[in-house]
Structure 1
Amino acid sequence: MPNHVQLVARRSFFLLLFLILTGCSSAYYRAAESLGFHKRDILVHRVEKARDSQEEAKTQFKNALDRFTALTGFKGGSLEEKYRELDAEYERSRAKADEVRKRIDDIEDVSEALFDEWENELSQYQNPSLKRSSQQKLTGTRRRYDQLIAAMKRAESKMEPVLLTFRDQVLFLKHNLNAQAIASLRGELDSLQTDISALIKSMEASIREADEFIKSVGGPA
């Protein structure tokens, strides 16, 4: 039979799961804090998850470009099979892009709650020196956060043009399994390579910002 501690932990887990699924952010943060997970901890965790999602998206977009490039050199075989492969790469790329967007939304949600709470707590200080120190730390954390979220959104904004190009080519190939479709792919290759190179560069900059932010955030407010 599970002991009391196990039962409490299990109930707490299912409570957090329910709050996540129902999308009640404020209730989720209160429940998480009751278990010892503060908003700062949640923010850092979500930045780590977003960074990892960007790493995965970067790899996926590279893979999709490789598949696209290989298809432009198509010499023979089943063009229907090549279409399915390219379509699968597009769908995987779209899914990774959606995941990155969701991770950024999650970061913005908890950061707003954290900074509002931190700002409100400043008025509770009686010691001017401690208040000044906390204010300075809040200002610095906000500045680093603004740099981080700007970098993440710059990288995220570069995904959609690439996805639209992929989608157009996949749709065209679906109904034109012939040399005309391959010629169309070749015509888009240089532009697509340029766009994906810019996307990867932005993602790498965003990932570096995430690493710097994670390192910088710590210690009591």
Structure 2
Amino acid sequence: MTTKPDRFARWLPIAASLLLLAGCQAAKYRTLESFGIEKRDILGSRVEAARDAQDDAREQFSSALEQFRATVEFDGGDLEDLYDRLDREYTRSVDDAERVRDRIDSIRDVAEDLFDEWEDELDAYENANLRDRSAELLRDTRSRYGRMIVAMQRAEATMDPVLEAFEDQVLFLKHNLNARAIAALRSELDGIEDDTEALVEAMNASIAEADAFIQSLEGSS
């Protein structure tokens, strides 16, 4: 017997292609629902994607910090190569941060639509007990979602100070690529380490909330 996640994975490439032809959000949902993929499934999938994007970003920011440490500890070698490596790490960090932001935005979009639809459908119940149970589940899901999205937004905000600091270092070295300029950056290391540590901790908390939310969706299916 094919499970819902299996069915979702199986039809997703086809559905994704059809989505290119769908002009509005409602049309996109109707297309996916025709394959048995409900908004709840879409939300779960997007939370997983955001969790994975945050995991990648956490690793990338840590890698960028290591490269900055290597830069300020420069003790001979090719300065141009050193700068290029730091610039690549910064660029990758920007890309990963943007991916995290996009994933979080996509979660908010489908969550709002799901909860609005769920709320509206409560009025369609004839059985009061079932309506009350559904309303209770809606409140619980909203509460769990609220905790998760707050954690994600907090983690998202911690990326900005780190990105700004790395951008400053890259720009400074771009026009001052010499040993003296590198030595001048050493005083910035402690601040960047603190900001990156705060980012990693926020990402860890956000990823844990995402995992808990995914489990709650699966447990109430």
Q: Deviation of residue 13 (structure 1)?
A: 5.2
TM-score (norm 1): 0.91
Cα 1:203–1:123 change in 2 (3 A) is same
Q: Give structure 1 stretches of 5+ with no counterpart.
A: 1-8
Q: Which residue of 1 aligns with 2:139?
A: 139
Q: Which residue of 1 aligns with 2:8?
A: none
Q: Which residue of 1 aligns with 2:18?
A: 15
Q: Give structure 2 stretches of 5+ with no counterpart.
A: 1-11
Deviations 1:117-141 (A, max 9, x none): 0000000001100000000000000
Distance in structure 2 (CA, Å) of the matches to 1:178 and 1:10 = 50
Q: Which residue of 2 aligns with 1:102?
A: 102
CA RMSD of aligned residues (A): 1.8
Cα 1:12–1:80 change in 2 (3 A) is closer
The question of 1:81 aligning with 2:84 is answered no
- How is 1:1-221 mapped onto 2 (pairs within 5 angstroms)? 14-19=17-22, 24-218=24-218
Distance in structure 1 (CA, Å) of the matches to 2:120 and 2:68 = 52
Q: Deviation of residue 150 (structure 1)?
A: 0.2
1:213 maps to a residue whose letter is F
Q: Deviation of residue 27 (structure 1)?
A: 1.2
2:81 maps to a residue whose letter is E
Distance in structure 2 (CA, Å) of the matches to 1:194 and 1:220 = 39
Distance in structure 1 (CA, Å) of the matches to 2:141 and 2:75 = 55
Cα 1:198–1:11 change in 2 (3 A) is closer
Distance in structure 1 (CA, Å) of the matches to 2:140 and 2:19 = 31
Q: Which residue of 2 aligns with 1:3?
A: none
Distance in structure 2 (CA, Å) of the matches to 1:178 and 1:117 = 60
Deviations 1:23-72 (A, max 9, x none): x3221111101111000000000000000000000000010000000111
Deviations 1:90-142 (A, max 9, x none): 00000000000000000000001100000000000011000000000000000
Alignment coverage as a number of residue pairs = 211
Distance in structure 2 (CA, Å) of the matches to 1:217 and 1:159 = 28
Cα 1:182–1:11 change in 2 (3 A) is closer
Runs of 4+ aligned residues of structure 1 deviating over 4 Å after TM superposition are: 9-13
Q: Deviation of residue 220 (structure 1)?
A: 6.7
Structure 2 counterpart SS, 1:158: helix
Distance in structure 2 (CA, Å) of the matches to 1:72 and 1:40 = 48
